[in-house]
Chain A
Amino acid sequence: MNKLIVSPSPHDENYMKTSGIMLNVIIALIPALCVGCYIFGWRVITLTAVCIASCMIFEYLSRRLMKRSNTITDLSAVVTGVLLAMNLPVTLPYWMAVIGCFVAIVIVKQLFGGLGQNFANPAITARIVLMVSFPKAMTHWIQPASYDYDAVSSATPLAMGKDAELPSYIDLLLGNVGGCLGETCALALLAGGLYLAAKKIISLAAPVSFIGSLAVLMAIAGEDPLYHILAGGVFLGAFFMATDYATTPITFKGKIVFGLGCGIITFVIRHFGSYPEGVSFSILLMNILTPYIEQVTRTKIFGAKEAEKNEG
């Protein structure tokens, strides 16, 4: 008879593992990527492929250099690659995208200890770094469905002047507007977000409070709330970045606070600031606040006595 395996209970486990969760996130991003392809052409595929490949290579190399276990198979680097690509204009030179991947994987993620340890969202931070470093290339938007990468840039809906003829809601829903290659089609992003929620991979608490608070604030300020939630990176940010496990609070209460914060900051930047977008900065700022949010939004423990004040 074999030696019996002795281990502490429980002796059973759930089937959903880290790589399974990441795979589901990738699946959820596919509709928006496909629409991106349709609107912005073949370069969506190559740019995304470059991002995925370089994220995986950077992940492998940095883990190896730091003498840590290889974590390529958990697919988290793939998710970061896809998310970063979706936050880039389709015309961005490949080498700039590679720099973005380096920032995301090496600086933001691995230097802080790898998966689950980073305090800021890698893709968001990389996007901001690229935006600050290469402002021109990062705001070179092409006309939807023109497939003309050399054309003179068009403006994103939010960057258009107040007097310009704004795109219709339908165009915003379908993504038929200028912008980052994965952020324009609100419908596809919504579908992906709902898929993840149905699979119980994300909670809708943060997206709902993010989008909800932004809409309410815009309405109060006299701007078109629907336009503001459909335009720009709100859906991509709310469903895929504000729900990132490592950089957002764990509890339901915490997620609500996080979403509210994102909504408020996005509103402030868009309404008062000179900057047309605000989603990336709002999420990054809330990432930084997350440890503090967590401290005040802990779960209520069943049957616990009130904590004694200033113990010891």
Chain B
Amino acid sequence: MNRLNGLRLHHRKNTENSQTEEFPLPAKVKIPLSMTMGVPCMPLVKAGDIVKVGQKIGDSDAAFSVPVHSSVSGTVTAISDYRTASGAVCKAVEIETDGQQTVSDEVKPPVVTDRSDFIKAVRESGACGLGGAGFPTHIKLAPKTPVDILVVNAAECEPYITADYREMIENANDVIGGIKLVQSQLGIKSVKLAIEANKPKAIKNFTKMAENDDSIDIVTLPSKYPQGAEKVIIYNSTGRIVKEGQLPSDTGVLVMNVSTIAFLYRYMQSGMPFVKRRLTVDGNAVGSPRNISTVIGTSFREILEYCGTDMDSVKKMISGGPMMGMSVPEADMPVVKTSSAILAFDHYDQRKTSACIRCGRCVKVCPVGLMPADIDRAYKIKNIEELKSLKVTLCMNCGSCTYICPANRKLAETNQLAKTLIPRK
């Protein structure tokens, strides 16, 4: 087995020992109707409606979509237009909370007799991949080809973020419960719980818990970014290679984030859809970094202020990790299902890009073995044939090349732009 390239990063897991803290219920929330991959939902409520916790407030007829539920009880004040961090525009439901957190009658444990019930229930739970991409879980759990290995992605390879780690420490039983649930529903024989080596406590705990279960393997991943990337984690935990144009399921592998799988377990017990999540609050502008659990729709600003951040000093805010997270354009953005972290920094150097010195560092770190320096050149002259042969479409935008470049060239960004030049078949 070859070793894939990777990047040694400072882990900066400052919050790894911070017990998740319940964030006080905000006075109002703003719940976007597009928080995951897929078709945005249409609102099921209107201004003035009374809503309860767990009540469905947005849905779509499209299969590739995830319904949205109210995270609070209170009164809908407006259905507004909302621009997501990626720039897309959708509707958002604004709710004034009544502080009671009355649970909706809709919330009851789903009755599951066969696999299609299970998939339906998963869709109703509003679950999506919590690692960051937000892929609809019910789509993932209904692969077109049979899968025989479940890889649970507990790499959490981004610096700062410890939300998945806290899930593993605080809710270890839910993780195992979720694994057994998916295993039995999909008839999967083998499970790889893949954890990066920088989380020895989690590795130890789960190794002990899975001692008597031959079907669950605990895989220790090297501390080399990006272990959590789907193709990388599949290769490093199963040895299988997801080829160009293939889905993981084409190689018989299903990859699920550890927090997603633990949530599914809780949902099957309680019927409470995905309305609340844990996120890491960190960055040098944050007075006391920690992990908090809060309702979907809470404003980033409130959370940062609660964690002792002087908002006037903040120059850069990131939703997610520093390597693949997204810049937050304004502090009042709400927490969405995929918000694994909020990072706030009081400085951000926008260094000048200089000429490529062809040092080859980008080539050395690319986990896929691409040659970003050459792609950069080919992109400059718009040489599409060359871009094709350099396989730029395989770039997963992990950001390693930009990170390492001594000339501050925005190589990962160029790769994304270059992809758009290549016509899709």
Q: Footprint of B on A, CB under 8 Å?
A: 1-2, 4-14, 16-18, 20-21, 71, 74, 76, 113-117, 245-246, 250-251, 298-305, 307, 311-312
Cβ–Cβ contact B403 & A5, under 8 A:
no
Question: How many Å from the CB of B112 to the closest CB on chain A?
Answer: 35
Structural contact, A4 and B325, CB atoms closer than 8 A: no
14 further A-B contacts with Cβ under 8 Å, apart from A1-B331, A9-B399, A303-B244, are A2-B315, A4-B328, A5-B348, A9-B397, A10-B323, A10-B399, A10-B403, A12-B9, A114-B355, A115-B355, A302-B367, A302-B368, A302-B394, A311-B388
Cβ-based interface call for B43 (8 A): no
User: In the bound complex, do residue A4 and residue B327 qualify as a contact, i.e. CB atoms below 8 Å apart?
Assistant: yes
Known: A5-B316, A303-B241, A304-B394. A246 touches B358 (CB 8 A): yes
Residues on A with C-beta less than 8 A from B370 are 299, 301
Residues of B within 8 A of A6 (CB): 327-329
B402 at the A interface (CB under 8 A): yes
Considering only residues 342-396 of chain B, those with a C-beta below 8 Å from chain A are 343, 348-351, 354-360, 363, 366-371, 373-374, 385, 388-389, 391, 394
Interface string of B402-419 (1 = CB under 8 A from A): 111111101011001000
Q: How far is the CB of B316 from chain A (nearest CB, A)?
A: 5
Q: State the B residues within 8 Å of A (CB).
A: 4, 9, 159, 231, 235, 241-246, 311-318, 322-331, 343, 348-351, 354-360, 363, 366-371, 373-374, 385, 388-389, 391, 394, 397, 399-400, 402-408, 410, 412-413, 416
Q: Kindly report which residue of chain A lies nearest to residue B370, judged by CB atoms.
A: A301
Tell me the dominant secondary structure on chain A's binding face. loop
Q: Are B326 and A9 in contact (CB under 8 A)?
A: yes
Q: In the complex, are the beta carbons of A8 and B413 less than 8 A apart?
A: yes
Whether the Cβ atoms of A9 and B385 lie closer than 8 Å is no
Q: List 25 A-B contacts (CB under 8 A).
A: A1-B331, A4-B316, A5-B316, A6-B327, A7-B327, A7-B348, A8-B412, A9-B324, A11-B323, A13-B351, A13-B402, A14-B403, A14-B405, A17-B408, A18-B354, A21-B359, A114-B355, A115-B355, A251-B360, A299-B369, A302-B367, A302-B369, A303-B242, A303-B368, A304-B243
B354 A13 Cβ-Cβ under 8 A:
no
User: Which residue of chain A has its CB nearest to the CB of B8?
Assistant: A14
Cα separation A71 to B407 with both chains bound (whole Å): 12
Residue of B nearest to A6 (CB): B327
Q: Is the CB of B330 within 8 A of A4?
A: yes
Point out the residues of chain B lying under 8 angstroms from A4, CB to CB: 314-317, 327-331
Complex: A113 Cα to B357 Cα, angstroms: 12
CA distance A7 to B67 in the complex (A): 30
Residues B371 and A11 in contact, CB atoms below 8 Å apart = no
- Give Cα A117 to B159, complex, Å: 35
A4 to B318, CA, bound (A): 10
Contact A7–B350 (Cβ < 8 Å): yes
Chain A neighbourhood of B328, CB < 8 A:
4, 6
Cβ contact of B159, chosen from A12, A21, A303, cutoff 8 A: A12
| Bound-state Cα–Cα, A275 to B405, Å | 41
List of B residues within 8 angstroms of A8 by Cβ: 327, 410, 412-413, 416
Shortest Cβ distance from residue B97 to the other chain A in the assembled complex, whole angstroms: 25
B339 to chain A, nearest CB (A): 15
CA distance A307 to B408 in the complex (A): 31
Judging by beta carbons under 8 Å apart, are A1 and B311 in contact?
yes
| A3 closest partner in B (C-beta) | B315
- Once bound together, how far apart are the Cα atoms of A301 and B394, in whole Å? 9
Quick check: A301 and B369 within 8 Å, CB to CB? Answer: yes
CB contact under 8 A between A18 and B399, given known A5-B327, A250-B371: no
Contact check, A18 vs B369: say whether CB atoms are below 8 A apart. no
Say yes or no: A302 contacts B241, CB within 8 Å.
yes
Q: Are the C-beta atoms of A305 and B245 separated by less than 8 Å?
A: yes
Partner of B243, one of A13, A245, A303: A303
Q: A4-B331, A13-B403, A16-B406 are in contact. Are A302 and B4 (CB under 8 A)?
A: yes
**Measured between alpha carbons, how far is A53 from B406 in the docked complex, in Å?**
25
What residues on A are CB-neighbors of B243 within 8 Å? 303-305
Closest A residue to B325 using CB positions: A9
Assess whether B312 is in contact with A1, with CB atoms less than 8 Å apart. Answer: yes
Query: Is the Cβ of B407 less than 8 Å from the Cβ of A18?
Result: yes
The interface centre, meaning the residue of A6, A7, A11 with most chain B CB atoms within 10 A of its CB, is A11
The reply to whether A20 and B406 form a contact with Cβ atoms under 8 Å apart is yes
Bound: A14/B408 CA distance, A: 9
| Of B314, B315, B324, B416, the contact of A10 (CB 8 Å cutoff) | B324
In angstroms, Cα B409 to Cα A171, docked, is: 46
Closest Cβ–Cβ distance, residue A77 to chain B (whole Å): 13
7 A-B pairs with least C-beta separation: A10-B399, A250-B360, A6-B327, A12-B322, A116-B357, A299-B369, A10-B323
